[in-house]
Structure 1
Amino acid sequence: MLLTPDTLPDAELARLRSAQGAGQHEAVAREAGDMLHRWPDHRDLRLIHATSLRFLGRIDQALTQLAALEAAHPRYSLLHQERGLCHIARRDAPAAIAALLVAVGINPALPHSWKMLSGVYRLTGDMDNARKAEAHVHTLRALPEPVVEATSLFSDGDLDEAEALTRRFLLTHGDHPEAMRLLAKIGVAHDVLDDAEVLYAGVLTLAPDHQAARQEYVETLIARHKYPEAREALAPLRAQGSADLKRLDATIAVGLGHHEEAIALYRAILADLPAVPGDDGELRLYLADLHLWLGHALKTLGRLPEAIAAYTHAADLRPDFGDAWWSLANLKTYRFTPEAVEIMRAAEVAPATGAADRVHLNFALGKALEDAGDPQQSWRHYARGNALQREASQYRPEILETNTRLQKQVCTNAFFTAREGWGAAAPDPIFVLGLPRSGSTLIEQILASHPQIEGTQELPDIQRMALELQGRDHDIDAPAYPGSLAALSPMQCRALGERYLAETQAQRSLGRPFFIDKMPNNFRHIGLIHLILPHAKIIDTRRDPMSCCFSNLKQLFAQGQEFTYSLEDIARYYRTYLDLMRHWDAALPGRVLRVLHEDVIEDLETQVRRLLDYCGLPFDEACLNFHQNRRAVRTPSSEQVRRPIFRDGMDQWRAFEPWLDDLKTHLGSALADWR
């Protein structure tokens, strides 16, 4: 059979496995070794080669092959199982146990590994662990073989094969809790969270006491920002009080805005753990994460010294922990010592530093060196951090541009006139939107200082509805949304508006008549907002393009906002934003209030009165003293809005002007006509 250098056919692998099963190990080892010269990175081929070498007693060669396999596929469970079998052949019980434990840690559906562990534990006299391993063998024997096989495939990353096998089993045998749970896990891996949620709910209907499925269900609800539902789902497990469940509880508390509760939970977990982890690397990583999460909650409440202490502790535990260093930088008011800068420099160039840590370290160094008055070196790190983040991104600017073109086609003035009076009647929401780093947090803080307005956070509900209206059509040239808006009935629009109000109710702990949704990207969905909430207020915060784009380029966001990691992308996004906002002005005249950040800085009281007039509310002095409001603020500007109006950030980009010529070029006419 003539084989191309591109692909190793499955039939060839099947033939080698068949020969291996027939005991033809000399031939298989020779042929697989030859084929590896042409397909050196093929995972299964190298495992076949190593396995035949073991059967031939060539253990050292087999272990060499497994080491090469691990370099490319470190989380491939079968390589660790094979390594364990090699050590059993050498009668090295400790090494065999260590390798087999790695295998089952990655993939618990390996009956052969559990059986071998049981045997080796018995040989070493460790009867307690032998019985535990045997219990796993019995658990797997009790499951249908296709479910075990599919679980093993899933654990090793073969998602498509695992999904196909699981679906075939369910079609043949009907509902089965473990098969449904596996399908839900595959859904999570594919980011199809709505399906996963339904499947987990089905599992818990069949098996209400399935603790692992319940915990995974809670994690899925958290990923969907369904915090009230997650809290309810977690309730049956809460009495167990494990650290992992407390961590989930704290995450839910943060999502609900209950930050004091989250702080108490994080501190309770830390109190049960050793403060000094010693040589336990995994514990050290976990402690660093806990201190980071604690720092985030403290920062949100404005408890700055405690937040700094938590972030610093996280960095002490893990000097290459980029997120801890960036969290300090992201306070905006923190200043690094020269010693801290040197620690970050060393970690940034260290070969062992992970990709995500390297990105965070570059942004932190950019901020540290900017504050130190070295714009050239600062820009070098900002540029490197952006380049690394952009390289890992799947961002495609055409998606927003296509959406903008279709919004202009669908959401015309005539379209809205024909639907006048649709949607929910409540006037409660105030949408503050625009680009990130445009001054929206300041506007939110001003408004949330009014006794009739409650500040919440950047709520995902409108974006989630838009995704539902989009469906699973990923054709960027002809997406279903926003065209699907035209198919909505008056009843559906009202139902969506009422659903938005119901689902955001959990964020309104103060019971004030109005509340703020400060998701900046909602400018893409003003048509949807108007259809379902025609009496909501919509405020567009806008900032000079050079100041706004530069501020985004030096900001590393926790998630999303992938358009901010290159000069061309952020400029292109800004121009598209202007284009779409001009359309909303024409299609919905007078509907959106535009507030320029520069005007707020220059004349605060005039702009505050203008905002409150638009919202139909009386003037209140508290809005001028917004910096005294101690409410929780989760955005990067949290510490800045706890200070009186200041001009420091207005022209920060000018120190970096020598490196921003391309940004000016890409912005083009937007430099002059952005207001």
Structure 2
Amino acid sequence: MKQYTQQQFKFINENFQQGQRAMQMGMFGRAEKYFADIIKIAPEIIEAQNALALTYAATKQHDKAAAQFKVILRAKPNDAHTHHNLANTLYELSQFEEAIQHYQAALKINPNLVDSNIHCGIAYRAIKNYDEAIKCLHQALNLDKKSARAFHILGVIYAELDDYPRTLECLQNASGLAPMDADINISYADMLAKVDLNGSAAIKYMDICNRHPNLLKAFTLFGKHLVNMRYYDEALQCYDRALQLGANGIDTLDTLGKIYLGMGNVDAAIDNYNKALAIEPSRLSSLIGLEQAYQDDGKLDKAISICDEIIATHGDSPKGYLLKSGVLKSQANDGIAENLLRFINQDNLDESFMVDINFALGKIYDDQKNYKQAFHHYALANSIKSQKLSYDREESEASFTKLIETYNTDFFKNRQTYGTDSKLPILIIGMPRSATTLTEQIISSHPSVLGAGEVEFWSDTVNSLHYILNSKSSYPECVQDMLPAHAKEIAATYESTLLKTTGASAAPVHITDKMPHNFMSIGLIATIFPNAKIIHTKRDPVDTCLSIFFQHFNEHHSYAFDLSNLGFYYKQYERLMQHWHTVLPGRIMDIHYADTIADPEYWTRKLISHIGLEWDDACLAPHKLERSVKTPSHWQVRQPIYKTSVQRWKNYEPYIQPLIDALNVNTR
């Protein structure tokens, strides 16, 4: 070993201590100088070499760090920690294959290094070798069953493989092991939201905010989630806190505009969108929000002027023409179709725009009574959508059959005491496009009723019910494990959801929920709310299905993009509704759209009487209801009750034989 003079030894010792102290204080530049000075006179001191390498790594000088760690390995080739540290540095340099080699070298020397297994798994994930990544992370968990980080990364990998049950299991474990780790818990909350377990996600986001009251990211994410759930009052509270924590800028203004719009405060929404546009006058998202606000407020002339502004400032996008086609009833000389056709012929047009444009062209040509051309574009839009989706008829039929078999007469007989006495909710159910919006407008025109629109609750509850009940069975079989306490908890959550959605300052007598597909959840709803009124809207089957075919529904409606599948699904819906009427006699009121149109006053009075309310003349003028309107046909909703949608399918009879055959209806 090299001999040092007393002065050199003192210099080395003091510099090493000063370097360590500087590193502890985060003064890495100073630490680097101390360690480098030692190496100049004593390069064989491995501790100084290692400290210098760690200083380079801490200051993201990864090339220097890698070179320095390699110097150390030449002197100590069997040092597992140096292999690990070098691998970490190589990972930062995106040299994943070489990083894996050094993680494996570290593990060969010391198989019990938990972090080396975790980091090796992360490196394998980077090159998409998921099998090896999973092996490494499981090995880490074999060594440390309480490694939150291993569970977290494993959950992230399963998410990338679309294995959501394992994802949730891993992230739940990680969250439980590290309740104060914001990143881990945010990942868990994000995944709960991704799989539509929105209530559970909201609870997790709230927990993160409570544990980290100064974490801007937590409040922003929670606020966005609440907006998606349409809990606008609570979303506004989140954003108030985010603003206190320094949130600012145009994205925040846009989100506040969306929140106020959802709350029905159109003036505040317009104010925030205009503030955003003052910063960036041609910002597309702000212009779209402003156009929506004017539409919701019934100021169609202003909405159209915003569409024209979008057309002028974003001429390379069809968005302005798409929005304009939805604001007004198209005329043959308005030029919208011609401009959309110009876009549709572009080779590089995004597929989502192709779908939007064809749906818009269908609507335009329908307005112009050019039914052949309208159907051509509707069919093309649906064809593009159906190529990306798969509707399994056998699976769909089986799901309806399970509901019928589970919710039988004995089920309800044995659970008569499970429900709450509440009469707050009014459920308006039926197929989409069966006049649920009109029915809600009629009912919510009554001063004792508030309309909540389509509330995202029961489908989320069904998806998460086996978690809530701690059941080993999936839905609907898991309802056999439901106890009265579960039912009351779900009831309280739903009532709270309704009140949050409407933002009611005073408790109304009733709140309507017009989510059409709640017809799938009537068994659960009727058990939990035995006194809730259920209104079933019905419309001509062909008109209903054709109207669905003409709307751009999301991927959850996989049956909607093929006429034959539409007819098949409709028959399953009819089968289920017949079952609900059989096992819940007298609980569901059917109201037919054609009857309501033919004699509005008779059926409106019957509807209000069924709900148990005193008559109010406002129910005969639902189009005068002063609130924002959320429906694909804004201009129609703001008109008095009209008859043009009855037997509309006759205009398209030559093109829809697959639907007629599937419905097995007599068209003569």
Q: Taking structure 2 as the reference length, what is the TM-score of the superposition?
A: 0.70
Please say if 1:484 is aligned against 2:494: no
- Where in structure 2 are the equivalents of 1:55-74 lying within 5 Å? none
- Where in structure 2 are the equivalents of 1:393-408 lying within 5 Å? 393-408=389-404
- Aligned residue for 2:634, secondary structure, equals coil
Choose the corresponding residue for 2:453, options 447, 453, 457.
Answer: 457
Please say if 1:270 is aligned against 2:266: no
Contact 1:289–1:314 (8 Å) recurs in 2: no
Shift of 1:480: 1.5
Residue 443 (structure 1) aligns with = 439
Paired with 2:351 and 2:128, the residues of 1 have a C-alpha distance of: 21
Contact 2:254–2:285 (8 Å) recurs in 1: no
User: Which deviates the most, 162-171 or 588-597?
Assistant: 162-171
Choose the corresponding residue for 2:254, options 247, 259, 277.
Answer: 247
Shift of 1:670: 8.5
Change (3 A) 1:548 1:178: closer
User: Which deviates the most, 389-398 or 428-437?
Assistant: 389-398
Shift of 1:267: 1.9
Shift of 1:533: 1.2
For 1:621-675, what per-residue CA distance to the aligned partner results, in whole angstroms no more than 9, with x for missing partners? 2111222222222012432232122212223222211111111111115979xxx
Paired with 2:209 and 2:118, the residues of 1 have a C-alpha distance of: 18
Please say if 1:237 is aligned against 2:242: yes
Residue 217 (structure 2) aligns with = 212
Shift of 1:527: 1.0
Please say if 1:579 is aligned against 2:575: yes
Paired with 2:226 and 2:131, the residues of 1 have a C-alpha distance of: 24
Paired with 2:552 and 2:292, the residues of 1 have a C-alpha distance of: 15
Choose the corresponding residue for 2:491, options 494, 497, 506.
Answer: 497
Choose the corresponding residue for 1:509, options 500, 504, 512.
Answer: 504
Residue 545 (structure 1) aligns with = 541
Residue 625 (structure 1) aligns with = 621
Q: Residue 456 of structure 2 aligns to which amino acid in structure 1? A: P
For 1:396-436, what per-residue CA distance to the aligned partner results, in whole angstroms no more than 9, with x for missing partners? 45454333211111112222122224322111111111011
Change (3 A) 1:412 1:178: closer
Paired with 2:630 and 2:124, the residues of 1 have a C-alpha distance of: 40
- Aligned residue for 2:591, secondary structure, equals strand
For 1:244-299, what per-residue CA distance to the aligned partner results, in whole angstroms no more than 9, with x for missing partners? 12222233334444444323222221122134xxxxxxxxxxx2222222222332
Shift of 1:341: 1.5
For 1:592-645, what per-residue CA distance to the aligned partner results, in whole angstroms no more than 9, with x for missing partners? 000000001111111011101101112222111222222222012432232122
- Where in structure 2 are the equivalents of 1:27-42 lying within 5 Å? none
Shift of 1:147: 9.5
Paired with 1:156 and 1:187, the residues of 2 have a C-alpha distance of: 26
Q: Taking structure 1 as the reference length, what is the TM-score of the superposition?
A: 0.69
Contact 1:445–1:455 (8 Å) recurs in 2: yes
- Aligned residue for 1:216, secondary structure, equals helix
The sequence identity of aligned pairs, in percent, is 27
Residue 568 (structure 1) aligns with = 564
Residue 84 (structure 2) aligns with = none
Contact 2:430–2:516 (8 Å) recurs in 1: yes
Q: Residue 646 of structure 1 aligns to which amino acid in structure 2? A: Y
- Aligned residue for 2:426, secondary structure, equals strand
Shift of 1:454: 1.4
Residue 307 (structure 2) aligns with = 311
Residue 530 (structure 1) aligns with = 526
- Where in structure 2 are the equivalents of 1:93-172 lying within 5 Å? 112=93, 167-168=149-150
Shift of 1:334: 4.5
Choose the corresponding residue for 1:610, options 603, 606, 609.
Answer: 606
Change (3 A) 1:451 1:594: same
Change (3 A) 1:513 1:659: same
Paired with 2:667 and 2:530, the residues of 1 have a C-alpha distance of: 33
Contact 1:153–1:159 (8 Å) recurs in 2: yes
Residue 35 (structure 1) aligns with = none
Change (3 A) 1:650 1:199: closer
Paired with 1:160 and 1:321, the residues of 2 have a C-alpha distance of: 43
Paired with 1:252 and 1:271, the residues of 2 have a C-alpha distance of: 19
Shift of 1:361: 0.3
Q: Residue 215 of structure 2 aligns to which amino acid in structure 1? A: H
Q: Residue 489 of structure 2 aligns to which amino acid in structure 1? A: A
Q: Residue 509 of structure 1 aligns to which amino acid in structure 2? A: A
Contact 1:181–1:200 (8 Å) recurs in 2: yes
Paired with 1:321 and 1:393, the residues of 2 have a C-alpha distance of: 26
Shift of 1:154: 8.5
Shift of 1:586: 0.2
Unaligned runs of 5+ in 1: 1-108, 114-143, 276-286
Contact 1:437–1:548 (8 Å) recurs in 2: yes
- Aligned residue for 2:335, secondary structure, equals helix
Paired with 2:291 and 2:381, the residues of 1 have a C-alpha distance of: 23
Paired with 2:395 and 2:473, the residues of 1 have a C-alpha distance of: 9
Contact 1:320–1:353 (8 Å) recurs in 2: no
- Aligned residue for 2:664, secondary structure, equals helix
Change (3 A) 1:469 1:301: same
Paired with 2:514 and 2:638, the residues of 1 have a C-alpha distance of: 17
Residue 352 (structure 1) aligns with = 348
Change (3 A) 1:640 1:466: same
Please say if 1:375 is aligned against 2:382: no
Change (3 A) 1:327 1:582: farther
- Where in structure 2 are the equivalents of 1:163-202 lying within 5 Å? 167-168=149-150, 176-181=181-186
Change (3 A) 1:421 1:336: farther
Contact 2:415–2:527 (8 Å) recurs in 1: yes
Change (3 A) 1:346 1:583: same
For 1:570-609, what per-residue CA distance to the aligned partner results, in whole angstroms no more than 9, with x for missing partners? 2122111111100000000010000000001111111011
Contact 1:319–1:344 (8 Å) recurs in 2: no
Paired with 1:420 and 1:189, the residues of 2 have a C-alpha distance of: 35
- Aligned residue for 1:330, secondary structure, equals helix
For 1:43-88, what per-residue CA distance to the aligned partner results, in whole angstroms no more than 9, with x for missing partners? xxxxxxxxxxxxxxxxxxxxxxxxxxxxxxxxxxxxxxxxxxxxxx
Contact 1:427–1:536 (8 Å) recurs in 2: yes
Q: Residue 574 of structure 1 aligns to which amino acid in structure 2? A: Y
Shift of 1:325: 3.6
For 1:141-181, what per-residue CA distance to the aligned partner results, in whole angstroms no more than 9, with x for missing partners? xxx99999999999999999999868417699956444554
Contact 2:344–2:357 (8 Å) recurs in 1: yes
Q: Residue 236 of structure 1 aligns to which amino acid in structure 2? A: R
Paired with 1:457 and 1:154, the residues of 2 have a C-alpha distance of: 43
Q: Residue 218 of structure 1 aligns to which amino acid in structure 2? A: G
Choose the corresponding residue for 2:380, options 378, 384, 387.
Answer: 384
Contact 2:330–2:368 (8 Å) recurs in 1: no
Shift of 1:452: 1.4
Please say if 1:645 is aligned against 2:641: yes
Shift of 1:539: 0.4
Paired with 1:514 and 1:432, the residues of 2 have a C-alpha distance of: 12
Paired with 1:150 and 1:300, the residues of 2 have a C-alpha distance of: 51
User: Which deviates the most, 249-258 or 289-298?
Assistant: 249-258
Choose the corresponding residue for 1:410, options 402, 406, 412.
Answer: 406
RMSD after superposition? 3.5
Greater radius of gyration (CA): 2
User: Which deviates the most, 551-560 or 649-658?
Assistant: 551-560
Paired with 1:323 and 1:510, the residues of 2 have a C-alpha distance of: 37
Contact 1:444–1:516 (8 Å) recurs in 2: yes
For 1:205-231, what per-residue CA distance to the aligned partner results, in whole angstroms no more than 9, with x for missing partners? 564433234423433443444444433
Change (3 A) 1:329 1:188: same
